[in-house]
């Protein structure tokens, strides 16, 4: 599109309005101005200002709904991750597929791997009734419950230590989807270098392509 002056020349007495000038005036008139979401449209003198007033979370350097992230640190309900910046410059001596660590992004764990209190009511879980859950680490918990034997037999109490299996590994690549997680980063651990100083909405969730689940910790004798 050729460059056009932002303003028309001043009209003067006796000045003829050519078809070219009238067409320029027609083309300069917006046919429609609409704002949606957090877009704000307002007049400022002889100009129209279109701006954004969003205070929501910003996606640093990614506009995808599904993306890859590098695990940096694990917390109870979410992961501190980094956006990998892929290095394709073979001429600089880099191997294709190498990456450098980019901006920090927080990714929620899958819902069933998050640490929520059981509450006062017992929970049915397959054949077992879970009576209590005690989380002892970001990836470890102690579960107490009972199993009802078939054919009306007696119920058996059990206690076992469970861990997230397989565990999240530092520098592991995960796939995550952009969604509403309902989680905020925990600013109570602001002294921890992995935690932000203010609560940030978490808008990514791990797709769990590694099929992680709570499983019996075989390293603990007796469960």
What is the tens place of the pLDDT at every residue in 114-151?
A: 987 665 455 766 677 888 889 999 999 998 988 877 77
Percent of the chain with pLDDT over 70: 61
Residue that the structure tokens 């769990």 belong to = 208
pTM score = 0.63
Specify the pLDDT at position 60.
47
- Residue 117 or 4, more confident: 117
What is the tens place of the pLDDT at every residue in 29-57?
A: 765 666 666 666 666 656 666 766 554 44
Residues forming a β-bridge with 69: 174
Q: What is the dihedral of CA 199, 203, 206, 207, to 10 degrees?
A: 170
What is the tens place of the pLDDT at every residue in 90-111?
A: 445 555 456 666 788 999 999 9
Q: Say how far apart CA 35 and CA 51 lie, in whole Å.
A: 9
Q: Say how far apart CA 175 and CA 107 lie, in whole Å.
A: 10
Residues forming a β-bridge with 78: 108
Where exactly are the structural domains of the chain? 19-52, 66-113+170-208
């Amino acid at each position: 599109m050729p460059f056009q002056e932002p303003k028309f020349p001043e009209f003067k007495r006796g000045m003829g309005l050519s078809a070219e000038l009238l067409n320029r005036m027609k083309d300069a008139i917006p046919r429609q101005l609409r704002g949606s979401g957090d877009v704000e449209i307002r007049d400022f003198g002889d100009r129209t200002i279109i701006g954004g007033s969003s205070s929501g979370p910003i996606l640093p350097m990614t506009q995808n709904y599904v993306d890859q992230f590098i695990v940096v640190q694990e917390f109870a309900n979410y992961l501190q991750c980094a956006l990998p910046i892929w290095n394709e410059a073979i001429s600089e001596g880099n191997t294709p597929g190498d990456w450098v660590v980019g901006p920090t992004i927080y990714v929620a764990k899958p819902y069933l791997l998050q640490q929520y209190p059981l509450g006062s009511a017992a929970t049915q879980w397959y054949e077992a009734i879970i009576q209590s859950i005690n989380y002892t680490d970001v990836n470890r918990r102690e579960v107490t419950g009972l199993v009802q034997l078939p054919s009306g037999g007696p119920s058996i109490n059990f206690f076992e230590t469970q861990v997230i299996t397989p565990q999240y590994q530092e520098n592991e690549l995960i796939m995550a989807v952009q969604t509403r997680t309902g989680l905020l980063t925990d600013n109570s651990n602001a002294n921890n270098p992995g935690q932000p100083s203010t609560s940030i909405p978490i808008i990514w969730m791990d797709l769990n392509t590694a099929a992680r689940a709570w499983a019996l910790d075989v390293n603990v004798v007796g469960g």
